[in-house]
Structure 1
């Protein structure tokens, strides 16, 4: 049976938005070393800048639930995409550190609302289509990350400046988000009644949210620190170092595009356990070798391992008895996204105190915890 016409256009439109979000995140990620150099930052100051993005996300999540109760994702997503693009495109325009903090704060607000709105619409599409689609949507985020990182690797070798890349990427991605927005699903919103503006995870949702946070802390570490690790600790040129992000994102994209097929044939607990162990092994390999190309292979294993953690957890959140699917996904994604934005600064503080390699051990710890707690977290599903 073919999908309704609205779904036939909404699915590729939302996939485009996930792609844009991933590419914007990658554009920030591959230029972390350049931001550090431009502003003359140490690891601690860089971590504080990343924390500003996390604070922006926390502020956004305080009113994301109420905003999305009144405004459909179709209206929120293009505005937040443009706001995020402007922030990323302007990263190296000012010279004062205070302006970097302002830009990261703005990016954190926009990226959080962009992410929650996309997952809100993704859950609605999955319910209407009555089939697994969440992994594929998140695969587009990873594909965007791969393309965003890979583009800089190629453009750097072609002599394109960092400023030109930031401005061009921001413009192209903003236009792409705007062009896809009219084709998104038109969800009806009639406003929210009283109550907390934030969907706070409690009960079974709390453990699901904590596992999502652990997975996304590790994912955020790859986005924000893998390029710097390969460039700085392994003494690799910028163009090659950006492949750390690209290899991680490419493997994650492959795992997610095949994830809906795997999820239909593998028990969620088994998939989550295996995912955590593969990610832990990959990070251990990357940190144990001084050879950049072996480290890139390790980062790819991390991406493959974490590929389906978030889709499995979001789907589980939609199946908790007595809780509306939209509320469950909003609660778990809010806590998970907080982990995505808070994890990199935490690693930065560890790196300042010890070393970046020590900070990245967090990825191994959280991957093992995701594996160990999978059965307990998924036990609450109906």
Structure 2
């Protein structure tokens, strides 16, 4: 007897070689590795490009704008394209742009290539977090913090590897490693990420919406955390080189300490979220971040500064995953649209912060200039107590 193939059978996809959770986890890990490789290599890139502290700050000011654009536009352009297809395209573009960035030889080239790479990196950030939210909903339990923990672990491993490779083997060697990292992420997406269809269904309405006050407050808090994370990742190596030039090959230790401690907390962060709740955990985390930045700003020691970066890692660990999860509950819009709106508002903090830091670093030094981020963390803590903490999460059309 011959079994007739039904339409449902014909349309059922073949089973994935790895789970969707494993696939997105791999993307988060590789995302962190790419950031770490760049962060650990910043002093060597800046040295070969002949740039000053102000120029480096300007480059990351431009990168902040690129990051906002990437996070905003990736959730709004091509709504009929699936998350899987977006990830594949963006990972390929990011791989090429990072390899180019490692070979910049002038200040102008550094600013331009960093802008392009950050745009693609931020676009990946939005898409992989949207996929992470989808996986969390599929599993019906918190897993997003764990994904972010893998990204932090990647930053830690990548930062120390980037500084060592770039100084001892050259930036071309670091570029090759970065290409292999992106290839691994692409392979994971191909093997395990399901095609969930259009990210903006035709019946979902416009992806633009007027954000409620609670989302604005939450966005500003996350903006401070994101700005602080970038400062700890991208400026820590230059800070430690400034304090101990003889240890330049190990300058990635600051970003490594930051990222590994961040990863440790994030990997257990979903339990903390369940225990404390997202809003309370955000407030506790901001207090720890303030302490870490204050330590760095008053330090003149390689070891003490590394400790400060570790404290910043602990403090910023859960803010973004808590914030993304909370934001997704604030609106009935698709997660990509909500995170995109949140990311747009974070630009009010993230865009000017590195420019101000670069100016301060040129005036008072790389370590003392972290006072800026200590003040921002204190302001965010105030906002979290008096705005985010009182906000009632609700769905809105």
When normalised by structure 1's length, the TM-score is 0.89
Q: 2:324 & 2:305 partners in 1: Cα distance?
A: 30
- Quote how far apart the aligned CAs of 1:337 are: 6.9
Distance verdict in 2 for CA 1:267–1:62, change over 3 Å: closer
1:160 aligns with 2:169: yes
Q: CA deviation at 1:269?
A: 3.2
Give 1:70 shift.
1.9
- The reply to whether residue 377 of structure 1 matches residue 388 of structure 2 is yes
**Matched pairs, number:** 376
Structure 1 residue 108, shift from structure 2 partner: 2.0
The change in CA–CA distance for 1:97 and 1:290 in structure 2 (over 3 A counts) is closer
What residue number does 2:353 align with? 343
Q: Deviations over 1:316-342 (max 9, x none)?
A: 112226655553333224434775565
2:54 to 37, 44, 57: 44
The separation in 2 between residues aligned to 1:323 and 1:374, in whole angstroms, is 24
Q: Which residue of 1 aligns with 2:283?
A: 273
Please state how far the C-alpha of 1:221 moved relative to its aligned partner.
0.7
Name the residue aligned to 1:101: 111
What is the CA–CA distance in structure 1 between the aligned matches of 2:68 and 2:85, rounded to whole Å?
21
Cross-structure match for 1:118 = 128
Task: State how far apart, in whole Å, the 1-side matches of 2:375 and 2:184 are.
Answer: 37
1:336-381 alpha-carbon deviations (Å, 9 max, x no partner): 4775565333311222344323421122112222322224214221
The answer (yes or no) to whether the contact 1:54–1:338 under 8 Å persists in 2 is no
Name the CA distance, whole Å, in 1 between partners of 2:178 and 2:208: 30
Match of 2:251 among 223, 241, 265: 241
Q: What SS is found at the alignment partner of 1:41? A: coil
Aligned partners of 1:190, 1:184: CA distance in 2, in Å?
14
What are the superposed Cα offsets for residues 116-142 of structure 1, whole Å, 9 maximum, x if unpaired? 111111111111211101101111110
Check conservation: 2:220, 2:380, Cα contact below 8 A: no
Q: 1:282 aligns with which of 276, 292, 295?
A: 292
Q: Do structure 1's residue 35 and structure 2's residue 45 form an aligned pair?
A: yes
Contact 2:41/2:166 (<8 A) preserved: no
2:339 alignment counterpart: 329
1:176-191 → structure 2 map (5 Å cutoff): 176-182=184-190, 183-189=192-198
Within the alignment, does 1:306 sit opposite 2:324 as a pair?
no
Hey, what's the Cα distance between the residues in 2 that align with 1:343 and 1:276? Answer: 17
Question: What do residues 235-258 of structure 1 show as CA deviations (whole Å, max 9, x unaligned)?
Answer: 452222110010000000001001
1:56 to 2:56 alignment:
no
Relative to the length of structure 2, the TM-score reads: 0.86
Q: Which runs of 5+ in 1 are unaligned?
A: none
Quote the Cα distance in structure 2 between the aligned partners of 1:357 and 1:104: 23
Which residue does 2:217 correspond to in 1? 207
Q: Structure 2 vs 1, CA of residues 68 and 212 (structure 1 numbering), >3 Å: closer, same or farther?
A: farther
How far 1:49 moved relative to its partner?
1.9
**What is the Cα-based RMSD across aligned positions, in Å?**
2.6
Match of 2:196, SS state, is coil
- Hey, what's the Cα distance between the residues in 2 that align with 1:235 and 1:216? 28
Q: 1:144-201 CA deviation, whole Å, 9 max, x = no partner?
A: 10110132355468x3223212x22222112111111121132111756698666674
